[in-house]
Amino acid sequence: MMIHAIKSALSGLSAYSTTISVNASNIANAGTEGFKKKSRNPLLGGTSGISGADGAGRNSRAGVL
């Protein structure tokens, strides 16, 4: 039973870490020409948005809009 609690806690920390990373990237690149911010849907996981200044966008998971 304790293993399930630890796995759940690690999953939550991983999701929080991804959210912080996405937010940090958005802040760091806010002034970059052509940058489109990314967003994270905690229910679907992954991130979506257009990355990079060249406009070549891609989703990290299928089904994330």
Contacts of 19 (CB under 8 A, 6+ apart): 40, 42
- Look at residue 14 and tell me whether its pLDDT is greater than 80: yes
- Look at residue 2 and tell me whether its pLDDT is greater than 80: yes
- For the stretch 33-45, pLDDT in tens is 888 878 776 666 6
Write out the H or E segment, with its range, that includes residue 3: helix 2-28
Considering only CA atoms, give the Rg of the chain. Answer: 14
- For the stretch 47-59, pLDDT in tens is 565 444 444 444 4
For the chain, the domains span 2-48
